[in-house]
Every structure is written in structure tokens, then in C-alpha cells.
Structure 1
Amino acid sequence: MWWILALVLFGYIALIACGLAALFGGLDSGAISPDAVNSGGGTAGLTGLGSIPPLIYSFAASVGYVFPVLLGALATTGEFRHQTLTPTFLATPKRGRVLGAKTVALIVMGAALGVVALAASVGIGALVLGGFGIDPLLADGETWGLIGRTVLAMAVWAVIGVGLGVLVPSQVASIVIVLAFTQFIEPLLRFASTFTQITADIGKFLPGAASDALVGESFFTLASPGGAVLTSWQGGLVLLAYGLLATAAGYFISWKRDVT
């Protein structure tokens, strides 16, 4: 499944990056009239800013993070579904070692998916922005810092997927939870959290908000200006905590049970 997820991830991010880079680039260059997108002539918030390239590049994590979560969940739930854990545990009775090895393997795979997503958002986004005369900022150290943090975020998301798969061994249930939470529940919670300062302080600790804080850029943050955000290192720690807590809980709840 990993290569299918990688192909879909690349196409998905490439489509989004290409479309929005063309939109922002067209607005900035005047090729697209502001009235055509119902902006009322106000494009200062979207164009003419050096932050447009990082915003496009950040879609690799802010949109693509669901793919490493799915891969991590499939890597563990597949073991339960096909009963491959039985020979594994017979060969390696120390189950903590097995889970640790699987987590490390998925960290590598999550980082690899991050590279795939960046190949789409940075590779295609930079080409489109350059075509409209916008500096893609590929020589900027901040851009490469964002790229590195994106790879890190995608790796941590894979750990969260492993933890979820161990915590909820049913493959169908895990997939439904991942899709429902990432595509519907959390976006709604993040939007609702912007209504008051108290909910905003809580909302910044949601997994997606922590991931965006780690990366440093997010279209969601742009769409909800003034919202509370964590620093990059705080976001990374919160995101990692989700993965470790889910994995630890799954280890004691289901990983140590009989599997046959």
C-alpha cells in the first residue's frame, strides 16, 4: 500500500499546490483580476508577500499529513488482520522490541512520504510561482528550515498512525477514525476554537494545530488570523506526545493480549 499512498499523495498535493500557486501568482501579477475571485480588490493579504511560497510549500504537511497516519495505522492493523503477529511474536517474544522496531520503520516511511509531498508542493509550486515572476525563495534558509520541519512532522504523524493502529486493532475502524477526525472533526474543532480566547488556547493543542506550529506555516492559520499558536518546538513536542501516548496506551491495551 505504501507506493499507492505515495502516488495519491503526490497527485493530491501537486493539484493543490499548482492551483493555489497559479491563483496567488495570477493575482500578484495582475493576470487574474481580484474581482474574479470576489476579493473586493483587496489582495494585500494574499499577494505581494514573501510568505506566499512557504504557504504553498506547507501544504505538504497541512493537507498531506493524513497519508503517513494511514500508513502507520495500516502497518499495525494489518498485523492483526492477517495474524502475522503470531509468527513474529514466536520469533521475538519481547513485544516491546517489535513495536519499537515498527515505530522506527514507520518514522522512516513517514519521512519518505514527507519528501514525496514536498516534491509536489515545492517542485511544482516553485515552478508555477516562478512562471508568474514570484521569487520561490529556494535560496532562503527559512524555506529549507520549513522543508526540514515538514519532513519531521510527517515522520511524527506516522508514529501517531502506529499508535492508533495498536490502540484500535480493527483496520476498518482505524481508517474510519483517521479519515473522520482529520477531514471533518478536527477542522471543525479548530474553526470553532477561534470564537473565544479560552477555546483558542485549547484549540492550539489539537494535533493538526501542533503540526502547523511545528512546520511554521499553514493555510488554516492564514484563514484564521489572530488565533493562538504554539512555537515550533512546542508544536513538535505536543505532536510527538500524541504519538507516544497512543502507542503506549495501545501497547498495554491490545499489543500484549493474545493474538491467536
Structure 2
Amino acid sequence: MVTADSALSCSPMAFRSVLWAEWVKFRTVRGWLIGLVIAVLVCVLFTYLVANGTHSGTCTGTGSTCQNGHPAVPTGPDGEAVADSYQYLSRPLSGNGTITVQVTSLTGLVSTNPTNVAPTLSATRPGLAGWAKAGLLLTPTTSQGSSYAAIMATGGHGIHFQYDYTHDQRGTVSADSARWVRLTRVGDTITGYESADGTSWQDVGAAHLSGLPATVQVGLFVTAPVTFQGETGYSTQATGSFDHVTVTGTTDGDWQSHSVGMNEADFYPTLGTGGSRSSGNGFVLTGSGDIGPAVVEGILGSDTVSSTLLLGLIVGLIVLIVIAAMFITSEYRRGLIRTTLTATPQRGRVLAAKAIVIGGIAFMIGAGAAAAAVPVGEHLLAGNGAYVFPATAATVGRIVVGCGLVTALTAVAVLALGAILRRSAGAVTAGIVVFVLPYVIGSSLSGSTATWLFRVTPAAAFSVLDVLPRSALVDYPYTLANGYYPLPAWAGLLVLAAYAAVALGAARLLLGRRDA
């Protein structure tokens, strides 16, 4: 039978009262409030110290080097880091027009020296990277990072139409067929076509390149990216042979050869100098590099908006672990838990209220500290001449919210450990061992052990700091050793949430069975 008093104790209004009571308990303890301020300050301070001590990196720009001597990383039309290196044979095209060519062969060389050793033509073997490219390219300018559209034959992926570095559409012509490709311009719309015989054509894709000038560059290009064996990268070079080159439309000027970005300071190291030459009625181009999204491999000393935040987040997390544990263990130490449970016999509600309070506070502290620390670190890195890998506002927002969720879930889990262990020292130690130590250990290891730690332990949640791009257009080992977490941010948070849920479940079970 449900009495009026028991019904009242189970009502939403009663739970709000419990929630308010727990909030009042927290805010009236001056030491905990000071601890929150300390958590924010140490996060920002350690971010400052790490960023201020970083003085090497790779700068952005359109030239081969920047004033600090570091290689430049091109920036694409949308502000993203890109690879933009290729051999180009082009001529001006005014207004609308079409260019057609047959790619008669695509061959290559692979350096037998890893990418940290200068490639030489004497240390090579025959081979072709899967994303080696040869075809037609239209661009308003040969400056690195310019907008473009291209139709190409590749070393191992068939015919592709790509534009502005991140957009890709695949054709259907077999790699074993005669590879004919065509680009047409109508206003700002560029369309790529493929053909197996040069007679029957089908479109592969189209791109709208807004703001194209009246006169653009159209022509042949060849490029070949780094290829990998395991974790080791090797520079490659590709040679494309072209025949039956035709251009319709208004063309002014002769064919001009350009080695775009192909020098020692380029994003992708080159193999040889490349070049263009006539061959019968066609042309032969040799080049190295890539046209596509940038990955971290080629950016020595690069940093991200979150790399400097990491140490500060860990130190701030330890401070919050102490506060979360004491939020409940202090009541056991002073015997006040009996008063709390007498006032609210629904023990699960007490635990839920405490979890909501500490989780909400930890979220605000974690997110606030990240929001303050990220621009500080980025500003200092840029001032020191280090290259900061571009991140969109949405990515930075995800990092800030992610840091808040990591601190909130950790605080809730440690609160549960406090309810289970009833001792501050034990709960704090257990919290650090379970929620911080796996990251420290995993960061010092390599291979499958480190990957395992970042998949199945709470360290998985640190994947919220991952801002490095992955792309199917770049063959690259996206491993932990190369700065890529094994789980996406949402999956890493789910792992941490599972730990918090198990801890809360165990705490609720023991809280109901044991005497206060």
C-alpha cells in the first residue's frame, strides 16, 4: 500500500528537493570551490607551458618555404591543409571549352629509402603507388592550394573525377581498358568524362567551382604520393604518357611546363625533379607528390588545437577526481551520510542527485577549461612559428564539448567509487589508476598493446581530442603511433560511459544493501 508520505518521497518535486540539497552541500564547501578554480587554472597553465615550449614545426603558405625556414603546407579553398604537388603541362583557356586526351601508359618508381632519407634515382625499384595519378586538370592558377577539378587514371583505383582536394567520384572504365578522359567547362561548372575507346563517353562527375576567372589553365598532370609498407613510407614517382591531346575553345599561348610544389621543401618529398617532354604526337610527364587532403605524415613537428591541451586536461582531471571522491566520502568520514539517508530514504535518489550535481559541475569545468586553453595554445604555437593543423569551428566545438563529457563521466564514475569504497584515499587512488593511468601507459607503448588500451579502457575517451583528418583518398597508416586514435570520439565516450554506468550500478547495489 502506498501512503501519502511514500508517494511524496517518490514525486519529481521530492527529487528536485534532493537535487537542490546536494547542490547546496557542494557549494557551501569552500575547498571544493577553490579546487574547481584550480582545475581550470592548471589546465590553462599547463597548456600555456607546453605551447610556449614548442618552437619547431611547419608553417603555412603558398611558397616553398616560410620565413622561419620550415616547409610550407598549402591551404585549400575551405581553409583545410592540403597536399598540392604535381607535374603540369598547361595552356590558357578563355571561356568555355573542352580538353580530351588518351592516357596510354602510367608507370612508376618507388624509392628504396624511407621518407626520412633523401630519395635518389639510384635507390629505386619499379612500382606504382595506388593513388598515382595521370590525367587532365583545370585550375585558375598554378599556386598551391588553388581550386581545381581533374579527371584522372590512377595506379590502382581506376578512373576518378576529383575537385578541391576532398571531393571524389569514381568512374567505371576498367584499368585494363584504353583510358580516355575529358574535361569540359561551361561557366563555373566543370564536368569529367571517361571512355574506353575515345568515341563513346560517359560522365563521371561534375563540380561547381564558384568564382572561376574568364581565363583558366587546362592541361595534363602527373603526380605520385608516398606509399607505405607497414608504418614506413617510401617516396614514389610516376610517368604518364599521353596521346591524342585536343583542346576546343579559345586558347592563347603555347603549352607551358610547371613543377607545382615539386622541390625539397614540398609537403610530399619528391623523387627526382620530374618534367615534361614531347613524344611523337603526344607528351610524357614525370612527377611526384599528391593532390588531395593532407595527413600528418608529411608535416614534421606539426601540432593540433588539442595537442597542447592534453597535459592540462589530465592534470585538471586529477583535481576533479579528488573533488568527486570527497563529495561523498566526506559524508562517510563525518557520519553525515546517516543524516542524508534518514532525510531521503530513497538511497538511489541520493546517489542520482549527487551524480547529476558532480557531473554537471565537472562538465562545465572541463568544457570551460578547454574553451579557454585551446585559443591560448594555438596563439602561442603560431607565435613560435609552429604549424597548427587546421581545425574548423565545429571541430573545436566538438573538442570543447568532448572535454566536458570526459570530465563529467569521470567525475560520476569516481563518485560511484567513493560510494563503494567509502574512503577518500581509496577512491582517489582507484580513480587515478582506472581513469588516468591507462592513458599514461598507453602513450608510452606502441603496437597492439597501446591500441588495445585505447579501445577498451577509459583512455578511449581521449579520442575526443583527435582532430587529424582521415581520407580514403590517401593511403596512410592511421595508427596510434601516427597520432590517430583507434576509435572515433563518440565511440571512445561510450567506452567511458560504460565504465561510469557499471560503477554507478555497483554503487547503487551496495548502497541499498549496506548500513550507512
TM tier relative to shorter chain: 0.7 to 0.9
Measure how far apart 1:120 and its partner are: 4.5
Measure how far apart 1:203 and its partner are: 4.4
Q: Distance in 2 between matches of 1:43 and 1:15?
A: 30
Corresponding residue of 1:81: 333
Alignment of 1:53-68 (within 5 A): 53-68=305-320
The question of whether the paired residues in 2 share the 8 Å contact of 1:163 and 1:244 is answered with no
RMSD over aligned CA atoms reads 3.6
Q: Distance in 2 between matches of 1:226 and 1:150?
A: 18
| Partner AA of 2:455 in structure 1 | K
Q: Distance in 2 between matches of 1:227 and 1:139?
A: 18
The question of whether the paired residues in 1 share the 8 Å contact of 2:39 and 2:320 is answered with no
Using the aligned pairs only, state the percent identity.
Answer: 21
The question of whether the paired residues in 1 share the 8 Å contact of 2:417 and 2:430 is answered with no
Name stretches of at least 5 consecutive residues in structure 2 with no aligned partner: 1-30, 60-66, 71-296, 469-477
Q: Deviations over 1:107-154 (max 9, x none)?
A: 111112213422542242233235346679686221122112211221
The question of whether the paired residues in 2 share the 8 Å contact of 1:46 and 1:52 is answered with no
| Partner AA of 1:146 in structure 2 | I
Corresponding residue of 2:474: none
TM-score (norm 2): 0.42
SS of the equivalent of 2:306 reads helix
Measure how far apart 1:234 and its partner are: 1.2
The question of whether the paired residues in 2 share the 8 Å contact of 1:24 and 1:46 is answered with no
Q: Distance in 1 between matches of 2:301 and 2:512?
A: 48
| Partner AA of 2:393 in structure 1 | D
More strand by share: 2
| Partner AA of 2:509 in structure 1 | F
Corresponding residue of 2:506: 249
Matched, 1:213 2:463: yes
Alignment of 1:1-260 (within 5 A): 1-28=31-58, 44-47=299-302, 52-132=304-384, 140-181=393-434, 184=437, 187-188=440-441, 191-192=444-445, 194-196=446-448, 200-201=451-452, 203-208=454-459, 210-216=460-466, 224-225=481-482, 229-254=486-511, 256-259=513-516
SS of the equivalent of 1:53 reads coil
Q: Distance in 1 between matches of 2:36 and 2:382?
A: 26
The question of whether the paired residues in 1 share the 8 Å contact of 2:55 and 2:381 is answered with yes
The question of whether the paired residues in 2 share the 8 Å contact of 1:166 and 1:255 is answered with no
Q: Distance in 2 between matches of 1:180 and 1:25?
A: 33
The question of whether the paired residues in 1 share the 8 Å contact of 2:416 and 2:507 is answered with yes
| Partner AA of 1:24 in structure 2 | T
Question: Kindly tell me: are residues 202 and 183 of structure 1, through their superposed partners in 2, closer, same or farther at Cα, counting changes over 3 Å?
Answer: closer
The question of whether the paired residues in 2 share the 8 Å contact of 1:58 and 1:150 is answered with no
| Partner AA of 2:317 in structure 1 | Y
Q: Distance in 1 between matches of 2:390 and 2:453?
A: 34
Asked which structure has the greater RCO (Cα within 8 Å, sep 6+), the reply is 1
Question: Kindly tell me: are residues 89 and 245 of structure 1, through their superposed partners in 2, closer, same or farther at Cα, counting changes over 3 Å?
Answer: same
The question of whether the paired residues in 1 share the 8 Å contact of 2:47 and 2:377 is answered with yes
Q: Distance in 2 between matches of 1:5 and 1:222?
A: 36
SS of the equivalent of 1:204 reads helix
| Partner AA of 2:380 in structure 1 | V
SS of the equivalent of 1:224 reads helix
Question: Kindly tell me: are residues 231 and 251 of structure 1, through their superposed partners in 2, closer, same or farther at Cα, counting changes over 3 Å?
Answer: same
Q: Distance in 1 between matches of 2:409 and 2:375?
A: 23
SS of the equivalent of 2:482 reads coil
TM-score (norm 1): 0.77
Q: Distance in 2 between matches of 1:128 and 1:189?
A: 28
The question of whether the paired residues in 1 share the 8 Å contact of 2:321 and 2:410 is answered with yes
| Partner AA of 1:213 in structure 2 | S
Measure how far apart 1:99 and its partner are: 0.6
Q: Distance in 1 between matches of 2:412 and 2:365?
A: 13
The question of whether the paired residues in 1 share the 8 Å contact of 2:47 and 2:376 is answered with yes
Measure how far apart 1:4 and its partner are: 2.8
Q: Distance in 2 between matches of 1:213 and 1:168?
A: 29
| Partner AA of 1:44 in structure 2 | I
Name stretches of at least 5 consecutive residues in structure 1 with no aligned partner: 34-41
SS of the equivalent of 1:258 reads coil
Q: Distance in 2 between matches of 1:223 and 1:15?
A: 26
Corresponding residue of 1:36: none
Q: Distance in 1 between matches of 2:447 and 2:389?
A: 34
| Partner AA of 1:257 in structure 2 | R
Q: Distance in 2 between matches of 1:184 and 1:202?
A: 10
